């Protein structure tokens, strides 16, 4: 059986990796970010591969949360912390990446990395807020904070990961909260500073296109920024 594949960037995710990597056992590797969990194995069988993939993401969130608790508070205390609902966990996850994956007609097997929002995790476990310096401090435009619900069309899980990767680090975007994730689209709540025009301009700098049609906002990967 192959050793655990190391964490890779979302822009270089590939789908044709071997089955053995998905079944590697053992605890999570310590990452520079204490709220990041790597090497999360998932294995789901469902009616079809797409459904299995969607369920694997939910399964991965649950496993990653348990692994995160062990990283932060130790195994004994982690056993006393109740896992939040799937919806709550989805809001706590900042983004995730696929380290490796393999699909059959009804099965999805993979290894994932999850990064959690530090403030949400700290609030749950009663830990003081992270005192680290915000790299975006002083760069966020002034103005009202708004929440915009956007649909995100996707052709694959890689598209979803890439959208989340590009959203990370945009100064005007405070949070990108996952509402739903299905086979061909996801839905996000973008909590941002300013107005939709300013948001669209900031997104465009990260090769993301924001448009509105019949009161529905849509966020897409810009063609000239596709990877």
For residue 206, give its domain range: 145-225
Statement to judge: residues 216 and 151 lie in one domain: yes
CA 61 centroid distance within chain: 9
Predicted local distance difference test score (pLDDT) of residue 209: 93
**CATH number for the domain including 206?**
3.30.70
Does the residue 137 lie in any domain? no
Whether 107 and 45 have beta carbons less than 8 Å apart is answered as yes
Reported as type and span, the H/E element at residue 71 is: helix 49-73
Closest CA to 113 of 13, 223, 15, 181: 13
Predicted local distance difference test score (pLDDT) of residue 142: 62
Statement to judge: residues 72 and 179 lie in one domain: no
Predicted local distance difference test score (pLDDT) of residue 171: 85
Statement to judge: residues 158 and 104 lie in one domain: no
Whether 144 and 193 have beta carbons less than 8 Å apart is answered as yes
Statement to judge: residues 47 and 76 lie in one domain: yes
Residues facing residue 36 across a β-bridge: 115
Does the residue 136 lie in any domain? no
In tens digits, the chain (227 residues) has pLDDT values of 323 333 333 333 333 322 233 323 334 444 458 889 999 999 999 999 889 988 999 999 999 999 999 988 888 888 899 998 988 888 888 888 888 999 999 999 999 999 998 888 888 888 765 444 343 444 456 667 899 999 999 988 778 888 888 887 788 888 888 888 777 888 999 999 888 888 999 899 889 999 988 779 999 998 644 44
> For residue 164, which phi and psi values (nearest 5 degrees)?
-65, -35
Predicted local distance difference test score (pLDDT) of residue 21: 32
Whether 100 and 42 have beta carbons less than 8 Å apart is answered as no
Does the residue 139 lie in any domain? no
Statement to judge: residues 65 and 165 lie in one domain: no
Does the residue 48 lie in any domain? yes
- What length does the chain have? 227
Maximum alpha-carbon separation in the chain: 54
Statement to judge: residues 191 and 105 lie in one domain: no
- Which stretches within the chain are classed as H helix? 49-73, 75-78, 86-92, 118-125, 157-167, 196-204
Statement to judge: residues 119 and 23 lie in one domain: yes
- The token pair at 142 is 């002034």
Statement to judge: residues 156 and 103 lie in one domain: no
Does the residue 21 lie in any domain? yes
Does the residue 42 lie in any domain? yes
Statement to judge: residues 121 and 150 lie in one domain: no
Does the residue 41 lie in any domain? yes
Predicted local distance difference test score (pLDDT) of residue 71: 87
C-alpha to C-alpha distance for 68 and 28, rounded to whole angstroms:
8
Statement to judge: residues 110 and 150 lie in one domain: no
Does the residue 182 lie in any domain? yes
The count of domains in the chain is 2
């Amino acid at each position: 059986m192959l050793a655990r594949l190391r964490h890779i960037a979302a822009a270089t995710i590939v789908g044709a990796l071997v089955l053995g990597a998905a079944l590697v056992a053992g605890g999570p590797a310590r990452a520079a970010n204490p709220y990041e969990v790597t090497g999360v194995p998932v294995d789901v069988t469902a009616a079809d591969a797409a459904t299995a993939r969607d369920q694997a993401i939910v399964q991965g969130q649950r496993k990653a949360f348990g692994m995160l608790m062990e990283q932060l508070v130790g195994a004994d205390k982690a056993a006393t912390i109740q896992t939040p609902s799937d919806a709550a966990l989805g809001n706590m996850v900042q983004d995730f990446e696929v380290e490796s994956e393999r699909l059959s007609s009804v099965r999805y097997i993979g290894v994932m990395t999850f990064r959690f929002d530090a403030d949400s995790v700290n609030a749950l476990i009663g830990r003081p807020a992270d005192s680290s310096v915000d790299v975006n401090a002083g760069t966020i435009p002034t103005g009202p904070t708004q929440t915009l619900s956007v649909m995100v069309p996707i052709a694959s899980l890689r598209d979803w990961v890439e959208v989340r990767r590009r959203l990370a680090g945009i100064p005007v975007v405070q949070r990108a909260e996952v509402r739903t994730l299905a086979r061909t689209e996801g839905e996000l709540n973008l909590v941002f500073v300013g107005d939709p025009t300013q948001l669209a301009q900031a997104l465009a700098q990260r090769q993301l296109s924001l448009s509105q049609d019949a009161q529905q906002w849509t966020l897409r990967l810009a063609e000239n920024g596709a990877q």
